[in-house]
Structures are given as structure tokens and as C-alpha cells.
Amino acid sequence: MSQKFTRRALGALTAAAIGVTALATPAFAQEELIFNVFIPRPAPLYKNALEPWARAVEEASNSTLKITIPTSTLAPPAKQYDIVQDGVADISVAPLAFRRKKFGLDMIAAIPLISASAKGASIAAWDTHEKYTGAAGEWKDFVPLTLFTLGAPAILSNADAITGQDDLKGFKVLAVGKDKIDTWSNLGATPVGGSGQKPFEVVSSGVADGLTNPLGTAANQGLLEATKHVTLVPGGMGGRATFVLFISKDRFEGLPAEAQTALTSTSGAALAAKIGGIMDKIDGSGLKKFKDKGIEIHQADADFVAAISEAGEFVTKAWSKRAEAAGIDAAAALDHFRAKAAE
């Protein structure tokens, strides 16, 4: 018995143990795929996109596929690639940032200010993957089914209003990841490194004066109670978080052609657009909650946006250098992404 088979069997047993109901074996051959989702079931992304997608795949496969979503995640968020590679799950969804050294080319949407909407960024991310970055060979063990981004990070301050670069002097801002730390440093702020797992505690305790987050996410994290000012930055402050929905390459290639088509035909650009649109709605709902709370909302002016762009230019340069090293026309890919996102 191979190690991969053993791990796959372990995954199936684990899924059963946490309450996944096994279906009676149908008269025809049916493949079961374990789709692990670490995102909470009440979340709009799960309810309105991921779970309906699983059912759409089943329908498109003429019932030759059964997509089983365990009632509890089989691993923490950072381990999603591992459990698919090891055969514990077949499909998962995860941030690219967890494997940025491997999948950095598809993190093009993380370039600051690159897209005005999550829907546009998601469509552009997938289309750019298909036309440019997907051919670079970064996805050796997995088959990406779609890419999508979260909302635009806004600047949240529990101290003074942030309306321009001068307001950042002495501003202690929670910054997750080296790119954001360096961007804030370039702007003259005082970045406070952290995981971003407990932003309310970090800001409400005064460890940091503020942070960046999409407003829908911020509202769900309790930051309505630890924010006095919000500054909206067109395209988002510090780039958008990019996620991938993916399947094990071995598992995918072992499926019948009809099942493969069911997976790919229900994913791609259409699913990216759907999820991106959901993220934009969540952002809009979050903005309304901050307004209803009486929190002051500011718009970053042209000078501030230009300063942010300059402070984060190193991200674009690093991405372009990686793309060129992989044989990709970086300038053409960037132009393509921006044009597609703006459509």
C-alpha cells in the first residue's frame, strides 16, 4: 500500500469521524472528491460560492462525481496545500501568500493599487494566469481551478485621521508580511509586525494605532469598536489578498474526461467573477456598518495615492523580475491584467 493511498484512506476516515455522511454506492461508477474548506460555513464565501460550486460540479458531471465537504476543516489554513499534496483531501481553497515562494507569479493582484474592484481583480487574475503566468510551471503538484481576491484594504485608525502621508508620522500600524512592513516604512509610518489573527486586541490595547483590512472583514473582526477613522484607498492599501481553488494534479489526471470537464467548466473566469462580486458586496456592507456606527470616512486624495504607489513600487519591480526570469513578458502581463480588471 502506497504512502499516498494510506494518507487518502486516513483522510476519508477523518472526514467520516467528523460527521460526513457516506452515501450508498450507486449502481454506476462514482468518484468521491474530498473538498476541504477552512472558511466558516456561515460566511458568504462558503454559502454563496464554494458550496454551490461543489453542487454545480456534481450536476455537470452527470452524477459521476460526488463532492464531499467535511463538516470541520481537516487542517488549519496554512496547511491546505499539504493536505491536498498528501492525499488527505483532493480539493481545497487557500491564500497564495502561504506559498508565495512557489506561486508568486499569480500574486499579481497583490501589487498595490492594481485594481479598483475585487470582481475585476479576480477575473484579471484568472485570465492573466491562463494567458501568461500559468505556463511558467509553478503549479507542479496542483491544478488551479480558479483564482480570486478579497476586498480592498482600507486604512483604519483608532487615533487621528489619516488623510495624507504627513499624518503617518508616528502612526503605529499593524503590518502583516514583509511587503506591507516595507511599504509602511517607506511612507514614514511605524509598522508593528504581527500575524493579523487578533487585530482587535492589537489595536484596542494600543500596541498599534491602526491597520489595513477590507471593511467587511474588519467589521466581522470587531474593529467597529476599535476604529475612529477610515481612509478609503482606490484599489486598496497594500494590494489584495489572492486565493486559489485547486485540486491535486495526480487526482485530477486520474479522473475520467467527463469529470475533469465538470471541474473546469464550472470554475475559471465565471467562478472568479462570482466570488469577486461577493467580496465587493461584503466590502460595501462593511462600509455601511462603519458609517452607521458614526465612524468618520475619508478618501485618500491624489497626492496620498501617488505616495502610496511610490512606496509600494518595489513590489511591482520584484514581481516583474520574477516574471522575466520565468520567460514572461512582465510589462505585457501587467498591462493585460490592468486592462482586464478595468473592463
DSSP string, 140-161: SSEEEEEEEE--PPEEEESSS-
Indicate whether 266 belongs to any domain. yes
Strands (E), the chain: 31-36, 65-68, 91-95, 142-149, 154-157, 172-175, 190-193, 210-213, 229-232, 242-248, 296-299
Last residue of a domain, one of 248, 280, 312: 280
319 or 63, which is more confident: 319
Domain containing residue 306: 154-239+284-342
Indicate whether 299 belongs to any domain. yes
In this predicted structure, what is the pLDDT of residue 28?
55
For residues 85 and 226, membership in a common domain is answered with no
pTM: 0.88
In this predicted structure, what is the pLDDT of residue 197?
80
Closest CA relative to residue 67, chosen from 82, 45, 52: 52
For residues 268 and 331, membership in a common domain is answered with no
In this predicted structure, what is the pLDDT of residue 195?
77
| DSSP H helices in 79-205 | 80-85, 100-103, 118-131, 178-187, 199-204
Structural domains in the chain (count): 2
Indicate whether 15 belongs to any domain. yes
DSSP symbol at 267: S
Contact 239, 104 (CB under 8 A): no
Indicate whether 111 belongs to any domain. no
For residues 293 and 327, membership in a common domain is answered with yes
Report d(CA 293, CA 307) in Å as an integer. 30
For residues 210 and 309, membership in a common domain is answered with yes
For residues 203 and 325, membership in a common domain is answered with yes
Last residue of a domain, one of 248, 265, 280: 280
For residues 83 and 197, membership in a common domain is answered with no
Indicate whether 110 belongs to any domain. no
For residues 338 and 258, membership in a common domain is answered with no
Percent of the chain with pLDDT over 70: 92
For residues 87 and 195, membership in a common domain is answered with no
For residues 223 and 256, membership in a common domain is answered with no
In this predicted structure, what is the pLDDT of residue 194?
83
For residues 70 and 205, membership in a common domain is answered with no
Q: CATH number, domain at 182?
A: 3.40.190.170
If you average pLDDT over residues 261-266, what whole number do you get? 98
If you average pLDDT over residues 183-196, what whole number do you get? 92
Indicate whether 39 belongs to any domain. yes
For residues 201 and 56, membership in a common domain is answered with no
- What's the pLDDT tens digit per position in 14-37? 444 444 433 444 445 689 999 999
Indicate whether 25 belongs to any domain. yes
In this predicted structure, what is the pLDDT of residue 196?
75
For residues 174 and 250, membership in a common domain is answered with no
Indicate whether 114 belongs to any domain. no
In this predicted structure, what is the pLDDT of residue 147?
98
Q: What φ, ψ does residue 79 adopt, rounded to 5°?
A: -105, 10
Closest CA relative to residue 246, chosen from 29, 45, 33: 33
| Cell numbers at 139, concatenated | 503549479
Q: What confidence category does residue 153 fall into, taking pLDDT thresholds of 50, 70 and 90?
A: very high
